[in-house]
Amino acid sequence: MCPTLWSRLRRPGYVTGCVLLLAVVATAAPLRFDFGTNDSQVWTGFTRATPANVWASDAAFGWRSAAGLSAKVRAYTAPVHDARRGSDQPPPMWTNPITEDAIVGTAENAFLLRAPPGEYQLYVVCGTSDPSMRSQFFDFTVQVGGEQQRVQIDGPYQFRTLRFRAKVGNEPLAVTFSPRSKWAVNAIVAWTGADAKEVETGIITPFEEWTFRLPPVEWAKWQLEAEPPTGPTPTPSAADQKRGFVVYGRHYLECVYPHSRPREEELNPELKLFASPGEHATTAVTVLPLVDIAGAKVAVSALGPVPAKEIDVRHVRFMRARPNYTTLYRYRWVPDVLERFEQLELKAGENGRFWITIRVPDDAPAGNYRGTVTFTCSTGTASIPVQLRILPIRLRDDPEKIFGIYYRHPYDQMGAAPDEVSKEYFRRKADREHADMVAHGTRNVVLSVSARPADATGKFSFNWELLAAKLELGKKHGFVAPVVLGVPTESIYEKHVGERPGSHLRGVKPPPPAFAAEVTAMVRAIEAERVRRGWPEFLYYPIDEPGTDAASISFMVTVLKACKAAGIRTYVTADPTREQFQPLRPHIDVWSTQPFAPEREVVLADSKARGVEYWCYPNHVNGENDHTPVAGARMTYGFGFWRSGFRTLIPWIYQSSTGNPFNYLDGASMDFFNRSEPDGTPVPVAMWEGYRAGYNDYRYVYTLEQLIAEAKRSGKPAAQEAAKAAEQELRNVWNAIRVQPKYKYDDLWSPEEFDVYRWLVARQILAIQSALGR
Amino acid sequence: MALPAVLPAGEAAMEKLPLVDSRDPKVWSTAESTVQPTPARTKIGDTSWLWHVQVDHLAGEPKYPIGWPRLAHSIPAGPRRDWSDWEFLHLWIYVDTPRDALPREPAGLGLHTPDRAGAFNRPLTELRKGEWVELKLPLTQIPRHHDVRQIQFHIAESNYRHGDIVDFYINDLALLRYATPTLLGVAAESAVMFADARQIPIMLQLAGVKPAQHAVVECELRRVGKVFARTGAHAPRGNFRVVLAPGSAALAPGDYEIKARIAGAPAITAKLRLVESPWK
């Protein structure tokens, strides 16, 4: 049954109307094809099409050839059991009769359909729900008449919809699929102008709501949470009313929601930035449309030595996001994805925010430069002046600190990819993501090595080449050591105990002594290969986030002792301030914990006394529970990190997707952090940019600390005086930090304060450089 | 800006509404713990509620043996669920335990506003062993406080050792409000700013202003006795933002004072540092 009709039928009073609509559908021209198998569901009013439908002169429709065609079916219409969590969870997507099945082709083919002569519009749906295709990159072209459109899809659960116009004469209408790897199609609809309204409202709208949001029955369970309160709207000026929009400037660290309203002092802004060569500087401008706006474009002029092409303008996309990782049935609209755009349509009353990132060339001369941001649309134009001061500062990186991140490495899928185009996609994706990490200051990722437990002769079979390729890619991008390496402890446990230990060791049992011996043997085998190949140091990461119960702690002691018996350093994700973890203390070399806890003095004392390191995985600013603490992200990565005494930031995770990566409501858990364009190019989110701003804050502080030390050693009285003044200013900044274990929202600096404190540091750098004669 | 989360007790008159005015333990529900009234340790009045927890990592709910002992008071339907005429949730807590010290998060407070899905949760990190600790939470921090149906205290047993005993003495659980308009706090939105800023946003925190009414607050930007900007605002209860506009003349870098007062009351001040702009 048509889902729209089905949902209406569930409501009283719609029975009569539904029957009437069914009659309309039944008499409509059957140019609606739902591709799949003989047994899969068919969207109401559609005609089933399978690989067996081969075109013939007397056929109404069919494939030009049956060669290379196969049908894929995977329906998700009910929760699925998650054995690791021990509970039923929402499926990765909720399929409908169109998306539950597809025809996949490996060679060029065309679907031919006979239609009366006339002008047609076509709607083509492409994708698959089949999880076995998770390492398949679909890359193909769809052609109708002379018009071609390229489709690129990474694996299952994502669907693309294409629209074409075609003129049909005496020949059948042909929809041609030309693969670079494989192609997939779920449905084709063709209609003439007379049917346009019925197709749009009766088919396309309900289909897209189901597919790109949720099916009606599920969607009815979700409740929208209110946006944060906003102040009154200032009265628009006559000029604003005439051009149909208001322009305002709000610091990029402060979120702008769809219905945030400008403050009086934010209207008609001038954007001001300062930055050093090689640095990325960020600003933002927001347009509040007073009427519906079409053709909205933003252009930024060159800013002195910064050419316009080095200035990246993105649209801040509002996403429906859950309030927490696995929370169901509550969502809110949040600013999140920073997407590229050519031009936009903006709705009256809903903010359009534009995120501007300026990359200052490495050789840019110091100076104060001016330029313009120009917003144009169907109703008017606005010019926003920009000032950029480029400072004569060469920012330095602290070699003692590590900025890392957890990572689902595309090379894992590359290894399983079925064709060269897919392999190349995953290779390209990984390469671009590594480059993106470096551009954001991140030069370290968590890796893992997989292996079966030892065979009867005690030998392990590792996929060394995959690990080598990942390390080589990191090396190419200048990544730093040590590398956190996940090892297959749970597989060895399963061999000896007969079952998995469960999420966070929730079902762990004491393993036999042979288990520990095999863990030691495994680590020794990895270490031997690491040394042989000259790889960087590995920190062994045997279990993620162990529980605090006695069985878990006892098991962890066993595992960590077994690892350390191989003469290596261990890495454990656990809160060192928890008493239950104290038995692990002698066996942990690197504590990795979510908050900056324990406090700085404890961290430094323990590090000095025992050589233990404290790393932080600040997931509270990564998006698993909230996409909006952008200022908290900057504080965590910059001044807060400086103040913490921790060595490393290594949040989880660069990209996390369940189901459709652009639908945060589907699947058991929310999608978060960076997204990808269809070709694998990274799409940042606002918090990722907050990381970079914090990373740069830290570089300013570190550069000043180094210069203070150099000035003190210089023997120049003026430099020593400057160092003294700089120390005092740096102490002021230090004292202004309101220390927290987790910087998120509360009690942070205002967005503007971040820039002023950075400037206070920069000013001292300039003073010392001057005193040193540089 | 940093307005205090727990406000100091002022001299202004306060009005109070006790939230649990019975001494019958049945007004509470408990899980994996017990509660009883006791005169043994009180801060205000002659009775506290003693919430006794013996941490047990093996017992409790079968699925979660390391669980969440809790104490809850359901607020009957009626006006007591609507806290919108009030300004603070107030209580004293004393914690006694044979442990050397409390864990980092000794307990948590949860308010069903109105249900568990929409609950307000706050860790009570300020609790200390052997000390009375006063909690005075501004209701502006609690969304949907017009419909509060349950007050709950809980601990996470995972924060404690198996066998730990923890006694919480809960005293003077009440709603508070100032009887007359009172300025509780003033601060520049940014404590440091560039000197070429044309507007200086100020945050005020007011109490004792009745709903739908305002108090007139005067704000000044001063330095060494000279006033550089002045404004008056009709401010409602809670946090309120005003903007000081120093005019077209550039302000010199340096330390300034922001002074705010309600007519007839003493002024309170905050510091502001203006820094030479990078774009001058």
pLDDT for residue A87: 86
Domain limit, last residue, from B158, B178, B198: B178
B31, B158: one domain: yes
A240 and A246 in contact (C-beta within 8 Å)? Answer: yes
Q: Find which of A582, A756, A760 to mutate to test the B interface (most B CBs within 10 Å of its CB).
A: A756
- HSE, CB side, 13 Å, CA atoms: give it for residue B204: 32
Distance CA A167, CA A170 (A): 10
Contact B191 A753 (CB under 8 A): yes
Q: What is the rounded distance in angstroms from the CA atom of residue A724 to the CA atom of residue A726?
A: 5
User: Among the three residues A350, A367, A390, which one is the final residue of a domain in this structure?
Assistant: A390
Q: Are A192 and A118 in contact (CB under 8 A)?
A: yes
B247 & B125 share domain: no
pLDDT at B11: 57
Q: Which residues of A touch B2 (CB under 8 A)?
A: 738, 747
Pair (B131, B196) in one structural domain: no
Q: Is residue B40 part of a domain?
A: yes
Q: Name the residue among B148, B152, B141 with its Cα closest to residue B51.
A: B152
Q: Which residues pair with A375 in a beta bridge?
A: A298, A382
Residues B21 and B144 in one domain: yes
Q: Is residue B153 located within the same domain as residue B221? A: no
Instruction: Classify residue A447 by burial, with Cβ atoms within 10 Å: 0-12, 13-18, 19+.
Output: buried
Query: Going by C-beta distance under 8 Å and a sequence separation of 6 or more, which residues neighbour residue A478?
Result: A438, A443
Q: Which of A274, A391, A750 to mutate to test the interface with B (most CBs of B within 10 A)?
A: A750
Domain assignment of residue A233, yes or no = no
pLDDT band, very low/low/confident/very high, at A30 (cuts 50, 70, 90): low
Residue A389: closest C-alpha in chain B? B279
Is A181 found in the same domain as A62? yes
Interatomic CA distance for residues A647 and A422, integer angstroms: 38
Q: Looking at the partner chain, which of B199, B275, B279 has a beta carbon nearest the beta carbon of A387? A: B279
**Amino acid residing at A230:** T
- How many C-beta atoms surround the C-beta of residue A148 within 10 A? 12
Query: Which residue out of B145, B157, B160, B192 would a mutagenesis test of the A interface target, given it has the greatest number of A Cβ atoms within 10 Å?
Result: B192
pLDDT tens digit string along A211-252? Answer: 999 999 999 999 999 999 898 889 999 999 999 999 999 999
Give the end of a domain, one of B129, B153, B178.
B178
Option in A549, A747, A756 nearest B57 (CB): A549
Tell me how close the Cα of A658 comes to any Cα of chain B, in angstroms: 23
pLDDT band at residue B61 under the 50/70/90 scheme: confident
Q: Work out the pLDDT band at B189, boundaries 50, 70, 90.
A: very high
For residue B114, is the peptide bond before it cis, meaning its omega torsion is within 30 degrees of 0?
yes
Distance CA A188, CA A163 (A): 10
pLDDT tens digit string along B4-31? 333 344 557 899 999 998 889 999 999 9
Q: In what order do the strands lie in the sheet with A344-346?
A: A271-275, A380-390, A367-377, A293-300, A344-346
Shared-domain flag, residues A598 and A546: yes
CATH label of the domain that carries residue A284:
2.60.40.10
Considering the domain boundaries, does residue B219 fall inside one? yes
Distance CA B204, CA B184 (A): 8
Residue B86, domain extent:
14-178
Q: Are residues A384 and A442 in the same domain?
A: no
What band does A10 get if pLDDT is binned at 50, 70 and 90?
very low
E strand or H helix at A746: none
3-class SS of residue A111: strand
Amino acid making up residue A73 = V
Which CATH number covers residue B222?
Answer: 2.60.40.10
Which is more confident, A20 or A529?
A: A529
ipTM of model over 0.95: no
Q: Name which of A263, A330, A580 is nearest B117 (Cβ-Cβ).
A: A330
Specify whether the backbone of A166 is left (phi greater than 0), alpha (psi in -120 to 50) or beta: beta
**Are A36 and A168 part of one and the same domain?**
yes
Comparing CB atoms, the residue among A391, A752, A760 nearest residue B190 is: A752
**A462 and A343: one domain?**
no
In a domain, B2, yes or no: no
Together in a domain, B212 and B157: no
Give a yes or no: residue B7 inside a domain. no
Q: What is the mean pLDDT of chain B?
A: 91
Task: State the smallest CA–CA distance between residue B101 and chain A in angstroms.
Answer: 11
**Per the CB < 8 Å rule, is B160 touching A579?**
yes
| Residue A650 within any structural domain of the chain | yes
Positive or negative: CA dihedral A204, A90, A228, A374 = negative
Among residues 371-390 of chain A, which lie with CB inside 8 Å of chain B? 387, 389
For the segment B24-40, what is each residue's pLDDT rounded down to a tens digit? 999 999 999 999 999 99
Convert B125-148 to b/e letters by CB count within 10 Å (16 or more is b).
eebeeeebbbbbbbbeebebbeeb
> How many other CB atoms are there within 10 angstroms of residue A458's CB atom?
10
d(CA A255, CA A630) in angstroms, rounded, equals 8
Residues A544 and A522 in one domain: yes
Query: Is there a single domain that holds both residue A25 and residue A144?
Result: yes
Residue in B with minimal Cα distance to A582: B161
Same-domain check for residues A153 and A284: no
Rg over CA atoms, chain B: 23
3-state secondary structure of A559: helix
Q: Inspect the interface and report whether the beta carbons of A759 and B159 lie closer than 8 Å.
A: no
The phi, psi pair for A331, rounded to 5°, reads: -150, 165
Domain, as residue range, for A540: 402-685
Q: Is A248 on the interface with B (CB under 8 A)?
A: no
- Whether A551 maps to a domain, the answer reads yes
Strand extents, DSSP E, B128-267: 132-138, 150-154, 165-178, 182-188, 192-194, 200-207, 215-223, 226-235, 238-244, 254-262
Residue among A87, A230, A254, A265 with most chain B CBs within 10 A, to mutate: A265
Q: What is the CA A240 to chain-centroid distance, rounded?
A: 36
H or E element in which residue A607 lies:
helix A600-610
What 8-state DSSP symbol labels residue A200?
Answer: I
CA distance A472 to A462: 17
To the nearest 10°, report the CA torsion of A59, A64, A65, A66: -60
Residue range A553-572: mean pLDDT, rounded? 98
Rg (CA), chain A: 29
Query: How many angstroms separate the CA atoms of B72 and B90, rounded?
Result: 16
Token pair for residue A556? 């962890």
B204 in a structural domain = yes
List the single residue in B104, B193, B241 with the smallest CB-CB distance to A756: B193
Distance CA(B92)–CA(A397), nearest Å, equals 48
A759 inside 8 A of chain B by CB: yes
- Residue after which a domain boundary falls, among A155, A186, A221: A221
Q: Do A753 and B159 touch (CB under 8 A)?
A: no
Residue A548 C-alpha, separation from nearest chain B C-alpha, in angstroms: 6
Burial tier of A431 (Cβ tally within 10 Å: 0-12, 13-18, 19+): middle
User: A6: burial class by Cβ within 10 Å (0-12, 13-18, 19+)?
Assistant: middle
Nearest CA in chain B to A265: B199
Would you state the pLDDT for residue B60? 74
Q: Is B53 exposed, middle or buried (0-12, 13-18, 19+ CB in 10 A)?
A: buried
Say whether both A497 and A374 belong to one domain: no
Chain A residues with CB-CB distance to B160 below 8 A? 579
CB contact under 8 A, B192 and A756: yes
The answer as to whether A506 is a domain residue is yes
How many domains are there within chain A? 3
For the segment A631-660, the average pLDDT, to the nearest whole number, is 98
**Cα-Cα-Cα-Cα dihedral sign, residues A362, A366, A368, A369:** negative
Tokens standing for residue B161: 């050792």
B201 in the same domain as B151: no
Number of domains, chain B? 2
Q: How far apart are CA B145 and CA B84, in angstroms?
A: 6
User: Does A547 map to a domain?
Assistant: yes
In A322-457 the beta strands, taken as DSSP E runs, fall at 330-339, 344-346, 352-359, 367-377, 380-390, 402-403, 447-448, 451-452
Chain centre to alpha carbon of residue A501: 30
Residues B156 and B204 in one domain: no
Among A20-34, A352-366, B14-28, B240-254, the least confident range: A20-34
Residue B63 pLDDT > 90: no
User: Which residues, 6+ apart, have CB-to-CB distance to A169 below 8 Å?
Assistant: A117
CB contact under 8 A, A747 and B191: no
A670/chain B closest Cα distance in angstroms: 17
What is the CB neighbour count within 10 angstroms for residue A230? 13
Residues B174, B256 within the same domain: no
Q: Over 80: is that where the pLDDT of A364 sits?
A: yes
Does residue B6 lie within any of the structural domains? no
CB contact under 8 A, B103 and A749: no
Specify the pTM. 0.93
Nearest-CB residue to B190 (from A579, A747, A750): A750
Q: Is residue B196 part of a domain?
A: yes
Q: What is the mean pLDDT of chain A?
A: 94
User: What CA–CA distance (Å, rounded) separates A594 from A406?
Assistant: 13
Q: Is residue A381 part of a domain?
A: yes
Domain boundary among B178, B201, B233: B178
Same domain, B25 and B149: yes
Q: Is the Cα torsion angle A509, A514, A518, A524 positive or negative in sign?
A: positive
Pairwise CB contact (< 8 Å): A549 & B278: no
**A454 and A372 in one domain?**
no
Task: Confirm if A526 and A485 have CB atoms less than 8 A apart.
Answer: yes
CB contact under 8 A, B190 and A597: no
List of chain A residues whose C-beta atoms are within 8 Å of the C-beta of residue B190: 749-750, 752-753, 756
pLDDT in tens, A155-210: 999 999 999 999 999 999 999 999 999 999 999 999 999 999 999 999 999 999 99
**Minimal CA–CA distance to A697: which of A736, A741, A670, A671?**
A736
Q: Which member of A550, A746, A759 has the closest CB to residue B278? A: A759
Q: What is the DSSP letter of B270?
A: E
Angstrom distances, CA of residue A486 to CA of A317, A483, A526, A542, A594:
35, 10, 11, 6, 18
Nearest residue to A441 via CA among A97, A690, A644? A690
Q: With CB atoms and an 8 Å threshold, state whether B104 touches A597.
A: yes
Say if residue B28 is in the same domain as residue B132: yes
The string of DSSP letters for A629-649 reads -HHHHHHHHTHHHHHH--SEE
Q: Are residues B105 and B119 in the same domain?
A: yes
State the CATH number of the domain containing residue B142: 2.60.120.260
Residues A615 and A594 grouped into a single domain: yes
Q: Tell me the one-letter amino acid at A117.
A: P
Q: Is A747 an 8 Å CB contact of chain B?
A: yes
Q: Is the per-residue pLDDT at A678 higher than 90?
A: yes
**Residue A249 main-chain phi, psi, to 5 deg:** -115, 120
Of A272, A548, A736, the CB nearest to B279: A272
Classify residue A341: in a domain, yes or no: yes
Q: For residue A592, what pLDDT is reported?
A: 98
Task: Report CB contact under 8 Å: B161, A579.
Answer: yes
Does residue B23 fall inside a structural domain? yes
Residue A397 lies in a domain: no
Q: Alpha-carbon distance A547 to A621, whole Å?
A: 23
Chain B residues whose CB is inside 8 A of the A579 CB are 103, 160-161
Q: A95 and A30, same structural domain? A: yes
Report the alpha-carbon distance of residue A354 to residue A376 in Å, rounded: 13
- Give me the pLDDT at residue B116, please: 84
Tally A–B CB contacts below 8 A.
69
Out of A192, A221, A250, a domain closes at A221
A268 in contact with B at a CB cutoff of 8 Å?
Answer: no
Measured CA distances, A227 to A671, A673, B239 (Å) = 20, 21, 18
- CATH code: domain of residue A571: 3.20.20
Show the DSSP H helices in A376-512 as ranges.
410-416, 420-439, 464-476, 489-497
Instruction: Supply angle C-alpha A602, A603, A607, rounded to 5.
Output: 115
